[in-house]
Amino acid sequence: MKERTKLIWIILIFGAIYYIPWNHGIIRQSGLEAFMMLQEYAREHVLACLIPAFFIAGAIAVFVSQASVLKYFGSQANKILSYSVASISGTVLAVCSCTVLPLFAGIYSRGAGIGPATAFLYSGPAINVLAITLTAKILGWQMGLARAIGAVVFAIITGLLMALIFRKDDAARTQGQIYLPDAEGRQRTLLQDTLYILTMVLILIFAAFARPAEGSTGLWPAIFAAKWYITVALLIAVVWMLKAWFTRNECKSWIESTWGFMKQIFPLLAGGVLVAGFMLGRPGHSALIPEHYIQTLLGGNSIWANLFASVAGALMYFATLTEVPILQGLLGAGMGKGPALALLLAGPALSLPNMLVIGSVMGVKKTAVFCSIIIILSTIAGMFYGTIAG
C-alpha cells in the first residue's frame, strides 16, 4: 500500500508539472505566493515554535504511559474522572487523527463505554498539542484559546450525548474491564517526569513569545527582552535533567520519537503550506481562488456560513497541522472568524476516511449521530465566537 501511495503521488506531481499552465499570469502569481508563504513559515514559525513542540510531543509519546490514561475509560470507571481524562487526552497522548482510530477501536472493543470512547475519539486529534500551539502562534491567541476550550467542551458534550442516546445499546454490549498494568521498572518519580515536560513547555512558551505592541509597558516587554536568557537557562535545566534522571536508551528513544513526528509532519505541513499559498495566497495577496468566492461562501457570521464550514471541515481530510496554514489563507481571503473556528473544531476529528473506519467499529447509525453532533456543535460555536470576536 505504501508503494502504491508513492506511485500515486509521483503521478499527481508529474501531472501538475506537465499540465499546469505556468506561463499564465495568475498561475505564476499563485506559484510565487505558495513559495513566499513557505518561506514565511520557515522564518517565523519553525525554529521557535515547531521544533520545541516536536521535542515535547516526542517526550510525551515516550515517557507518558498511554496505559495510565486509557485505563480510566472502562465502563466501571468513575464518570467524572473518565470524561475528564477523555476530554484532555489529546494534550497528554499527542496523537494525530490516524493514530487515534486504532486506539479508539481497541478501547471500545475491550469494554470502554461509548461515552468516554467517543470523547477520546474526538479529543485525541482535536487537542493535539502541536496543533493548538501552532493555531495560537499563527492565527492569534484568541483563536487558539477558543479552539482549545471548544475541543475540551465538545469532547465532553459529545461523549455524554452519545452515552445518553445509545444507553440501551451500551448496556447490552458485553461488559469487560480493561486491564492495563502500570508501567514497570520506572527510573524516575512522577514529579521528575512532570518537571521535565513542564520545563520543555516553558521553553516553547518563551522561545515563541511574540513582540509586544509598540509603546506597551509593564511585564510583557520585560519578558520579551529577557526571553532568550530565560530560554537558555531552561535548556540548561533540561540538559541537567537528561543527564541526572534519564538513561542513554531513554534519551535515544526520545530522539527517535521526536524524529518520527518530524518525518511524519514536516512534509505534510510543507505541502499544506504550498497548497494553501497556491490556492489562496498570503493575507492581502491574491492567488488562484478569487477573494470574493471566499467572502460569498464563508464571509460574515451567518448560520449558513458556519454550517458550510462545519460540513466542509467534516468531509475534508486535514493532515496534522495543515489546517492552520489553510485557515490562514482563508482568513486572509475574507473568511469570517466564526466559520474559521467552526472548521477548526470539525475538521481535525472528522474526515471521510475516518468516518469509514469509525463506522466499521461502532456501526453506521452511531457514526452518523457522532458526526452530526460535531457538525451541529461546531456550527453553534462558530456563530457564538463570530459574534463576540466581531
Could you report the per-residue pLDDT of 344-366, keeping only the tens digit for each?
A: 898 877 877 678 778 888 888 99
Averaged over 200-208, what is the pLDDT?
79
pLDDT-derived band at 77, boundaries 50, 70, 90 = low
Domain of residue 63, residue span: 26-187+247-389
- The whole-number average pLDDT for the span 215-244 is 85
**What is the reported pLDDT for 216?**
66
Give the model's pLDDT for residue 24. 86
Which pLDDT belongs to residue 176? 47
pLDDT band at 318 (very low <50, low <70, confident <90, very high): low
**Residue 10, pLDDT score:** 86
pLDDT at position 368 is: 93
Compute the distance between CA of residue 275 and CA of residue 336 in angstroms, rounded to an integer.
20
Structure confidence at residue 16 (pLDDT): 81
In a domain, 139, yes or no: yes
Compute the mean pLDDT over every residue in the chain, rounded to the nearest whole number.
Answer: 79
pLDDT of 43 > 80? The answer is no
The model's confidence at residue 38, banded by pLDDT at 50, 70 and 90, is confident
pLDDT at 365: 92
Task: Give me the mean pLDDT over the 26-44 stretch.
Answer: 82
pLDDT at res. 353:
67
pLDDT of residue 76: 61
User: Residue 110: its pLDDT value, please?
Assistant: 64
pLDDT(184) > 70: no
Q: Residue 21 falls within a domain, yes or no?
A: no
pLDDT at 177: 46
Residue 211 lies in a domain: no
Whether 285 is covered by a domain: the verdict is yes
pLDDT tens per residue across span 115-168: 888 988 888 777 777 677 778 888 888 888 888 888 888 989 999 999 889 888
The answer to whether position 172 is within a domain reads yes
pLDDT band at residue 236, thresholds of 50, 70 and 90?
very high
124-138, 283-297, 324-338: least confident range: 283-297
Q: Which of 273-287, 307-321, 376-390 has the highest mean pLDDT?
A: 376-390
Q: Long-range contact list for 236-239, CB < 8 A, 24+ apart?
A: 237/199, 238/196, 238/199, 238/200, 238/203
Domains identified in the chain, total number: 1
Among 77-81, 186-190, 333-337, whose mean pLDDT is lowest?
186-190
In percent, the amount of the chain with pLDDT more than 70 equals 79
Query: Cβ(294)–Cβ(280) under 8 Å?
Result: yes
